[in-house]
Amino acid sequence: MHILLVEDDAQLGAALQRALERLSYTVSWLRDGRTALNAIRDRTADLILLDLGLPGRDGIEVLTETRRAHIDTPVLVMTARDTLAARVDGLDAGADDYLIKPFHVEELAARIRSLSRRTRGLAVNRIDVGALTLDLGTSEVTFRGEPVELTRREFALLQALMENAGRLVRRESLENSLYGIDHVVGNNALEVLVHALRRKLSFETIRNVRGFGYMLPRDPK
Amino acid sequence: MHILLVEDDAQLGAALQRALERLSYTVSWLRDGRTALNAIRDRTADLILLDLGLPGRDGIEVLTETRRAHIDTPVLVMTARDTLAARVDGLDAGADDYLIKPFHVEELAARIRSLSRRTRGLAVNRIDVGALTLDLGTSEVTFRGEPVELTRREFALLQALMENAGRLVRRESLENSLYGIDHVVGNNALEVLVHALRRKLSFETIRNVRGFGYMLPRDPK
DNA sequence: GGATGGCTTATGAATCGCTTAAGGGCTGGG
DNA sequence: CCCAGCCCTTAAGCGATTCATAAGCCATCC
């Protein structure tokens, strides 16, 4: 899952990026409204984490502009003021949820999960696909009943495939949700990652469709 | 993607159908509520574009009736009046989005895209032409209900033909969209590709017009 | 019947994906 | 603060598939 973090404060931004990456999210950190809007318009993000405290009321503008462009990527707003006006402003402008600073990373993580659950229509924190289960809360994966130890990247790849089980996931789409917008061309990082994941699961589980991408069968055994 | 257009006005209906077909959607135009409901019950549509200004409050009835039958196909409502009551009526009855007449085709297109994105998973970006379906999201192709395995080039060729179904596509235009602007002259790569594609589908499906190019009939069987 | 354009098949080259190995960076322990 | 271990990216070799080219045949138009 690919998160766009819009935050001008260097310290908080770096901390959030690290925390989110530790939770297996791919984070693109943008420091100002203009570059944020450009990135948002690409529609490659799954969730936008937006600081309303950007200088010059930039935050709200980013949000309004996003919604006016009919981009309905979920937006989680961070604000320093817990006033009714602030909340109304944010939600009216099209935010899906908000957080009052300061907050704990656990709370942020919970809201991100809740938000992606809501917009995805999932009832629980767990994805089941055949003999595979993946827990977004605890980051645990089991295969054929056995727990499997996955690294951060492997987990993110498996999640992307499981969320689209039975459907082909395009190569660019995977690279985007793993590496963010600015992935370099010409590397075979994805292939190496697929290989590592196959080794930990089984080699039949992940199917390749030459020239297009990868796919997880709806019922892998 | 298959759109059900419910519109009683002949002029507007024809214009919308033409505009949507130009955007590679398959459009079934129905002029009254009764036939519309029958078509909706078939559940073959991916999206319903419903005029609320149908005579006799027909529009709202179609919508309520649809939702009562637990058919949750996305509905985009068109209404002439921009009053709060009108919006509430439509959204309360189960519409997913609404448009105030008159509107620009660009706006309609944007809302259709947004709607199909929101209800993703099914037929998000699908082109239907007769017995052929091509899914741009998952890169899957079916012919007469059977899945067909295509290579990247074959897929690109079929896509170009399907986006212009019923129209003649010039040779240069195909070569451009397959090989880019700087394709070398004197090769017959296109013919070889057409041959490969015909072999995987059927030899009657793709028609050649000597000296000009190729064409896919609007209703290939 | 000649000429042009399209069809079909074979073949070598290019591309794509798989696999293994190596090196750099980050983390946690001593 | 340094070292060890893990993770991740890069690189390179290999095998399989795909693709463009070429060459001969067939259909259509004049």
Q: Report residue A84's pLDDT band, with 50, 70 and 90 as the boundaries.
A: low
Contact residues for A149 (Cβ-Cβ < 8 A; gap 6+): A200
Q: For the residues B137-158, what does the mean pLDDT come to?
A: 90
Nearest C-alpha neighbor of A27 from the set A13, A14, A17, A35: A17
Q: Which residues pair with B141 in a beta bridge?
A: B134, B148
C-alpha closest to that of B81 among B100, B103, B61, B106: B100
Does the beta-carbon distance from B117 to A72 stay under 8 Å?
Answer: yes
pLDDT at residue A145 in the model: 87
Place B180 in a pLDDT band, splitting at 50, 70 and 90. low
Name, in order, each residue with C-beta under 8 angstroms of B82's C-beta and a sequence gap of 6 or more. B100
pLDDT band at B148 (very low <50, low <70, confident <90, very high): very high
* B148 touches B141 (CB < 8 A): yes
CA distance B86 to B144: 43
pLDDT of residue B122 exceeding 70: no
Query: Binning pLDDT at 50, 70 and 90, where does residue A86 land?
Result: low
Provide the pLDDT for residue A185. Answer: 54
Q: 10 Å Cβ neighbour count for B82? A: 10
List of A residues 103-142 with CB within 7 A of strand C? none
Cβ proximity of B162 and B127 under 8 Å: yes
| Residues in chain B closer than 8 A to A167 (CB atoms) | 137-138, 140
- Chain segment A16-36, per-residue pLDDT in tens: 888 888 777 888 889 888 889
Q: How confident is the model at residue B57 (pLDDT cuts 50, 70, 90)?
A: low
Mean pLDDT, to the nearest integer, of B16-20? 84
Find the mean pLDDT for residues B140-156: 92
Residue of B nearest to A118 (CA): B118
pLDDT, mean over chain A: 82
Looking at residues A189-211, what average pLDDT do you find?
A: 92
pTM of the model: 0.67
Lowest mean pLDDT among A8-12, A30-34, A208-212, B152-156: A8-12
Q: How many CB pairs under 8 A join A and B?
A: 24
Comparing A5-14, B15-24, B136-145, which segment has the lowest mean pLDDT? B15-24
Residue A15 contacts B where some CB pair is shorter than 8 Å: no
Domains within chain A, CATH numbers bracketed: 2-120 (3.40.50.2300), 126-215 (1.10.10.10)
Task: Pick the residue from chain B with its C-alpha nearest to A74.
Answer: B118
In contact, B45 and B2? CB cutoff 8 Å:
yes
Judged by average pLDDT, the poorest of A67-71, A171-175, B120-124 is B120-124
Per-residue confidence band for A143, with pLDDT thresholds at 50, 70 and 90: very high
Residue B91 reports pLDDT greater than 60 = yes
Token pair belonging to A204: 């039949």
pLDDT of B199 above 80: yes
Measured CA to CA, the distance from residue A168 to residue A112 in angstroms comes to 25
Protein CB footprint (7 Å) on chain D nucleotides: 6-12, 17-24, 28-29
Segment A121-139 shows an average pLDDT of: 76
Statement: residue B185 has pLDDT above 60:
no
Q: Which residue has the tokens 């947004």?
A: B114
**Can you give the pLDDT at residue A123?**
43
pLDDT at B28: 85
Identify the pLDDT of residue A87.
Answer: 61
By C-alpha distance, which of B198, B206, B195 is closest to B129? Answer: B206
Q: What is the CA radius of gyration of chain A?
A: 18
d(CA B153, CA B147): 17
Question: Among A176-190, B83-97, B184-198, which is the least confidently predicted range?
Answer: B83-97
From the list B111, B114, B152, the residue facing A212 with the nearest CB is: B152
**pLDDT, mean of residues A62-79:** 86
Calculate what percentage of chain B has a pLDDT beyond 90.
21
Minimum-distance CB partner of A72 among B114, B139, B152: B114
Distance A151 CA to D6 C1' (A): 10
Selected residue with higher pLDDT from B111 and A196: A196
Average pLDDT in the A131-157 region?
88
A57 band by pLDDT with thresholds 50, 70 and 90 = low
